[in-house]
């Protein structure tokens, strides 16, 4: 049995999940097969520094597990909140190093796209950035169509997907786009990233030994951090 702790801190949602290949899936609306438990809290204030380690300890204890039972730990790699990503990655690095177990990096936007339970041809996952900017990537099913990029929104954004096919926009940046383009032909789902949808990706990566170097891994910020 493989057991993976999944950690998501890229937004205001402090989220931790347990992934297992036993088939005892946690009930969820997205068809995620490997999540056996989930603990999260979405606060307007970033509370990861106070809550993350408490959540990790709690989810293990309520499943009668300890950190020694873990085969790997997965972390949401970004893009997203600079501070949130730093906290999540630093915590996972420390645990993986101490336990001498693999570290798995999961694309925040890829995991976010799995929250799309519609039958749309394309899913565009987008996270709110500053002002009229979002971090976005385009998926067709589980396949990446357009890689993550920082996009300053205007009327023509994602036009070829809006004109020719059904599209779902999902994430924390959706409201800005919906108000701007005023296009009711598609689906708009405002949602935070969650560790729940990391579980299947993390398990697939674990089975392929697709891991990262604990010492040298850095979050995928997409853009250079600027204070202020």
The domains found in the chain, sorted by start residue, are: 3-108+193-207 (3.30.420.40), 116-190 (3.30.420.40)
What's the pLDDT tens digit per position in 108-152? 999 999 999 999 999 999 999 988 999 999 999 999 999 999 999
Q: How far apart are CA 218 and CA 120, in angstroms?
A: 33
Sign of the dihedral defined by the CA atoms of residues 182, 185, 191, 193, in that order? negative
**Crossing angle of helices 82-99 and 48-61, rounded to 10°:** 40
Indicate the pLDDT class of residue 48, thresholds 50, 70 and 90: confident
pLDDT at 228 over 60: no
User: Residue 129's closest CA among 145, 105, 157, 149?
Assistant: 149
Q: For 80-182, where are the E strands, in sequence order?
A: 103-106, 122-128, 133-140, 143-152, 167-171
**pLDDT in the model for residue 1:** 83
Q: Rounded CA gap, 17 and 184, in Å?
A: 34
**DSSP alpha helices (H): ranges in 44-81?**
48-61
Contact between 128 and 176 under an 8 Å Cβ cutoff? The reply is: yes
Query: CB of 197 within 8 A of CB of 33?
Result: no
What is the model's pLDDT at position 131? 87
Which pLDDT score is estimated for 104?
A: 98
Q: Do 5 and 56 touch, CB atoms closer than 8 A?
A: yes
Res. 46: pLDDT tops 90? no
Indicate the SS3 state at residue 44.
Answer: coil
Return the SS3 of 96.
helix
Confidence category of residue 34, pLDDT binned at 50, 70, 90: very high
For the segment 29-37, the average pLDDT, to the nearest whole number, is 94
**DSSP secondary structure code for residue 33 in this structure:** S
- Residue 216, pLDDT > 90, answer yes
């Amino acid at each position: 049995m493989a057991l993976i702790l999944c950690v998501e801190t890229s937004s205001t949602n402090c989220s931790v999940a347990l992934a297992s290949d036993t088939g005892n899936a946690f009930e969820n609306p997205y068809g995620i097969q490997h999540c056996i438990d989930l603990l999260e809290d979405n606060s307007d204030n970033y509370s990861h520094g106070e809550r993350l380690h408490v959540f990790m300890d709690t989810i293990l204890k309520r499943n009668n597990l300890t950190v020694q039972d873990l085969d790997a730990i997965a972390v949401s790699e970004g893009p997203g909140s600079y501070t949130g990503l730093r906290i999540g990655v630093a915590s996972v690095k420390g645990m993986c190093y101490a336990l001498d177990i693999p570290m798995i990096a999961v694309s925040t936007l890829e995991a976010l796209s799995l929250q799309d339970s519609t039958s749309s041809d394309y899913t565009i996952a987008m996270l709110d950035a500053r002002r009229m900017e979002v971090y976005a990537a385009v998926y067709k099913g589980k396949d990446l169509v357009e890689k993550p990029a920082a996009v300053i929104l205007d009327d023509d954004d994602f036009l070829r997907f809006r004109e020719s096919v059904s599209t779902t926009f999902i994430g924390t940046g959706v409201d800005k786009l919906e108000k701007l383009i005023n296009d009711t032909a598609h689906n708009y789902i405002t949602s935070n990233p969650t560790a729940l949808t990391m579980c299947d990706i993390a398990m697939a990566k674990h089975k392929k030994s697709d891991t990262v170097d604990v010492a040298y891994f850095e979050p995928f910020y997409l853009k250079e951090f600027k204070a202020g």
